[in-house]
Amino acid sequence: MFRDDTNQILKGLKQSPLRQFDQEVGQIPGIVKLTLGEPNFSTPAHIKMAAISAIAANESHYTPIAGLPELREAAANYYNQKFNLNYTAENTLVTVGATEGVSASFQALLQPGDSVIVPTPIYPLYLPLIKLQHATPILVDTSADDFVLTPERLQTVLDQHRQDHVKAIVLNAPSNPTGIAYTRSEMQALAAILKQEQLWVLSDEIYAELTYGQKHTSMGELLPEQTIVINGLSKSHAMTGWRLGFAFAPKDLMAEMLKAHQYMVTMPTTFVQYAAIEAMKHGQNDCAPMVKIYQRRRDYVREHLQQLGFEVARPNGAFYVFAKIPASFKGDSWEFARQLAYDQKVAVIAGAAFGPGGERYIRISYAASDEALAQACRGIAKLMQHTQQQPLTEAL
Ligand SMILES: Cc1ncc(COP(=O)(O)O)c(C=O)c1O
């Protein structure tokens, strides 16, 4: 490189291990990929038509920085109705996917020297973004509590870090990678402490519509004055590639986030915003048929894995099963994932990619076809059969 004094924090960050592995094993011919959080459904037709109409109508100009007023209002109404929230258009920012909303939030909230509590295992988006603000993540391994951050644990961690200027916490429920959706009482118990401790909450609720047998409780309902709710169309409307998300926050903080957003992206693509208006006004039920199918697939994967000796975390949300590799497999989760990919042509993500607590686990995305899931279960069964036979062969 011409000079070597580029951003040292960025230099110290690695590419997402998740995407790296996905790309690596993508080269294996005939591989079945259950790696990325990518719905295998198509975007609902009425939303696609709205985008096509917007293009035909030459909706090709800049919109206001915060997004189209009609979209901000429709989004606030949509999520208010679904999750008992009380937001207006003024609390609403239209973002380039949930990812940009998370980034704008940290830019608005954090200063050098701040710390942020991050329960793990967790989706590997937040840590690099926290570090880029010269802030420090405090990782809290939740594996001993079945991957739920308990109020007792939160209180202990806060007491241990009184000197560290803890400013915020990241919550992601339903969770990627564990598939755990917090119950209302679990959320309330955390909210009580967070209120008392006056912490900001970055609540990534991108999987809020994907719950099985329970309804999502939003931190935006329980702690509206100190929460940023992140949501979007990627998962609920099978629109990952459209890059359309939302952030909801108290008005004063929103004014700060708006600046971060402006200097990063200006705004999301105009015709995508028109498609999003359609989703928010007429797509309230788009996710329901997907949820039914996901639930059936989840049951299928969970049962098969349990029969093979995997312990499965309570999978009542999102579209992931987080499964503990049986002790008969001696390697770590990356070795398991590599063997499964190269020997059985099935790709899953090693739990270690999601931080402390995930080392003995694999994450399987069941946002995939029935055939792919059946093939994956057969591959895992074969790998387990092979590992169980190993000691016998060695003994002979
Ligand atoms: C927890 C979580 N947050 C955010 C994202 C990214 O969402 P988007 O594609 O809308 O940026 C994902 C994607 O997998 C996710 O799992």
pLDDT in tens, 76-126: 999 999 999 999 999 999 999 999 999 999 999 999 999 999 999 999 999
Determine whether domain 45-282 maps to CATH 3.40.640.10.
Answer: yes
pLDDT given at position 17: 86
pLDDT given at position 390: 58
Question: How remote is the CA of residue 166 from the centroid of ligand 1, in Å?
Answer: 24
For the domain bounded by 8-42+287-385, which CATH number is listed? 3.90.1150.10
pLDDT given at position 388: 75
What whole-number distance in Å separates Cα of residue 20 and Cα of residue 29?
Answer: 17
Q: Which residue ranges have their beta carbon within 6 Å of ligand 1? A: 37, 97-99, 123, 125, 172, 176, 204, 206, 232, 234, 240, 245
The answer to whether the CB of 178 falls within 8 A of the CB of 313 is yes
The answer to whether the CB of 184 falls within 8 A of the CB of 217 is yes
pLDDT band at 391 (very low <50, low <70, confident <90, very high): low
132-154: b (≥16 Cβ within 10 Å) or e: bbebbbbbbbbbeeebbbeeebb
Give the residue extent of every domain in the chain.
8-42+287-385, 45-282
Atom of ligand 1 nearest to the CA of 96: 11
pLDDT given at position 392: 44
pLDDT tens readout for residues 213-272: 999 999 999 999 999 999 999 999 999 999 999 999 999 999 999 999 999 999 999 999
Residue nearest to atom 16 of ligand 1 (CA): 176
Q: Give the mean model confidence (pLDDT) for residues 323-333.
A: 95
Out of 120, 125, 147, 182, mutate this one to test ligand 1's pocket (max ligand atoms within 8 Å of CB): namely 125
Q: How many of the other CB atoms lie within 10 Å of CB of 36?
A: 15
Q: Give the mean model confidence (pLDDT) for residues 342-347.
A: 96
